[in-house]
Each structure stands twice: as structure tokens, then as C-alpha cells.
Amino acid sequence: MTQRRRCGIVSGGSRGLGRAVVERLLADGHAVATFSRNSSDFTDRLRRELPEDVFLWEALDAADSDAVGSFVRRVCRAFGGVDVLVNNAGVLLEGLLTTTPLREVERMMRINLVSAIALAQACAKAMMRSGAGNIVNVSSVVSIRGVSGVAAYSASKAALDGLTRSLARELGRKGIRVNSVQPGYLDTELTASMTEQKLEQVVRRTPLGRLGTPADVAGLISFLLSDEARFITGQTITVDGGLTC
């Protein structure tokens, strides 16, 4: 009997860090299912070049947690199960909290936190059926360091780290590991709104002297998903060139 290819779900895989994680999982031999609101040159190319049982992309708004749950069920039917979840999709909400409309905070929380919980819930059910699985949540260094102007975003990321620790306890005996990665500042669209001056300040304060790249973080995620990391669960691992040391 031929073994089915391991399947990874990556939220927000159209660009930035999600794109690097999709590339890395494919290179590591996984089939990959991903979603974002809009397709990109990257997802269009993969859909042209790879068979449907190796790469799947759907247009989906992570703010809709019911849609996220049905996405996982469709992926399980198409790929025969799910082995890996990388909760990557996220939006940055910038501005002083006192002037930020609560409806914007609520939408960000649905994308950054509730959808990650919905994905973890749906994937954990599938992983429990096969007796193994691996979840990585993409947090941020702002979950452990105060930064003015991103209070609600920081709260969403600190909540993800809490999810990681408690879920690791719930799922460990089922053979499922759960970890968080905390990137520093990456050179992606998410940070495009930051001023040159602010980015230079970050680089000055970073011992390794540069911003992070998506590949820096995708490498850590690939390690956490690998058998090399088989005794690591419930941890939050910082990948920031030393910014927070």
C-alpha cells in the first residue's frame, strides 16, 4: 500500500512568511493546503505547476471562523487527513489604543486569534484520529516586549502563546505537539507601514544587525515540525536576531 503524503495547512500562504512556510513544507515533502483572501503570483504559479493532491489554495477570509472549519474538512477529504497546521495568517493593527475603534480590534482578534483557535480545533480533531500531529502558532516578539502603538495586536499574539501552552497539555498524550514562534521584525508587507527611521532603529538594536527574513522563520518552523524536535512542545521560541536578548 502506498503511504499518503503528509499534509500541512498554512493559513495566509500567499506572500510574506506564509509563502516561505509553504515553500519550505513543499521542499520537505508535504502536500500543502493554504488560503488567503486574494491569490498571488506565487499561489497562481503553484496551482499551475503542481497537481491538486500536492497543492491547494482557496480564497477565504479568516475572520469567518465557520468557513475556516469547513476548509479543514474539505482538506481532510482531499488529502486524506492533516498532519501539520501552521497558524500564520495575521494582520497588524497600529495606532494608540485610545483612538482605535473597537470594531477594528474585534476584526483583528477574529483574524489573529479566533481563526487560529478554529483551525487548531478542526485540525486537532483530524490529528487525534491519526494519533499524531504538529501545530505551530506564529506569534511575535511584541507578545513579550511592550511596544507603543500595537497594544491590541500584542494582546492577540500573547493570547496565541497562552493557547500554545494549554493546548500542548491537552494534546500531548494524543501524540500532537504545539509550539509558538516569535519573530522579530521581518521585511514583509506587514511592516511596510513602518517608517525608515523606525526600521533603522530596530536594526541598530539587533545584535545580528539586520531585519529578519521570512526564510529565517520558516527554517525554525520546519525544524519544529521535524522529528528532530520530537521532545519539544508547549514552547515559544524567539527568532529575532537577538533583538529581545
**Closer of 60 and 127 to ligand NAP (Cβ):** 60
Phi, psi angles (nearest 5°) of residue 230: -65, -20
For residue 153, indicate whether it is catalytic.
yes
How many angstroms separate the CA atoms of 242 and 245, rounded? 5
How many angstroms separate the CA atoms of 147 and 110, rounded? 21
Assess 94 for contact with ligand NAP (CB under 6 A).
no
Task: Report yes or no: 14 and 42 within 8 Å, Cβ to Cβ.
Answer: yes
Identify which range of 14-22, 23-31, 94-102, 122-130 contacts ligand NAP by CB under 6 A: 14-22
Identify which range of 87-95, 128-136, 161-169, 201-209 contacts ligand NAP by CB under 6 A: 87-95
Query: Which residues touch 101 (CB under 8 Å, ≥6 apart)?
Result: none
Within positions 37 to 56, which residues make up the interface with ligand NAP, using CB under 6 A? 37-38
Assess 154 for contact with ligand NAP (CB under 6 A).
no
Applying CB under 6 A, among 191, 213, 235, 244 the residue interacting with ligand NAP is: 191
**Closer of 28 and 58 to ligand NAP (Cβ):** 58
Assess 91 for contact with ligand NAP (CB under 6 A).
yes
Burial class (CB in 10 A: 0-12, 13-18, 19+), 166: exposed
How many angstroms separate the CA atoms of 196 and 25, rounded? 32
**34, amino acid identity:** T
Applying CB under 6 A, among 57, 71, 79, 185 the residue interacting with ligand NAP is: 185
Whose grid coordinates read 491537552?
170
Active-site entry in 55, 57, 71, 153: 153
How many angstroms separate the CA atoms of 127 and 182, rounded? 24
Task: Report yes or no: 85 and 136 within 8 Å, Cβ to Cβ.
Answer: yes
CB of 196 to ligand NAP, least distance (A): 15
CB of 105 to ligand NAP, least distance (A): 14
Binding site for ligand NAP (CB under 6 A): 12, 14-18, 35-38, 60-63, 88-91, 111, 138, 140, 183, 185-186, 188-191
Residues forming the active site = 153
